Amino acid sequence: QVAFKMYLGITPSVTCSSAAGNEFSLILDKNPLVDFVEELPAERASLCYCNILCGVIRGALEMVHLAAEVTFLQDRLKGDAVTEIGITFLRKAEDRKHKRN
């Protein structure tokens, strides 16, 4: 939530969507990236304009050795009420103890 506030000026809501605890969603009531897009052209209806957010989140998780699948579940540009990003962890973080040589 801190990174979203720092870089985009918004704070997403976090909802857990699985009992196993490996899935959750970030819900953005306002997405500043869509402020500059009026309407997607009909021939580009499948374009996910804000997909860069998924890449940034996935890359940040990979930097701390967490493999995750990050996808858009809802998008305001597609007519949904909010922007929702789903995050699923692919494997549990392993506690590794590194030995010094």
Closest CA to 34 of 56, 55, 51, 54: 51
pLDDT of residue 96: 52
**Total domain count, the chain:** 1
Residue 20 belongs to a domain: yes
pLDDT in tens, 73-92: 998 878 888 889 999 998 76
pLDDT in tens, 10-31: 889 988 877 777 899 999 888 8
pLDDT in tens, 22-55: 899 999 888 888 877 777 778 877 778 788 889 9
Residue 99 belongs to a domain: no
Residue 19 belongs to a domain: yes
How big is the CA angle at 5 (ends 87 and 74), to the nearest 5 degrees?
40
CA 51/CA 38 separation, integer angstroms: 17
Residue 100 belongs to a domain: no
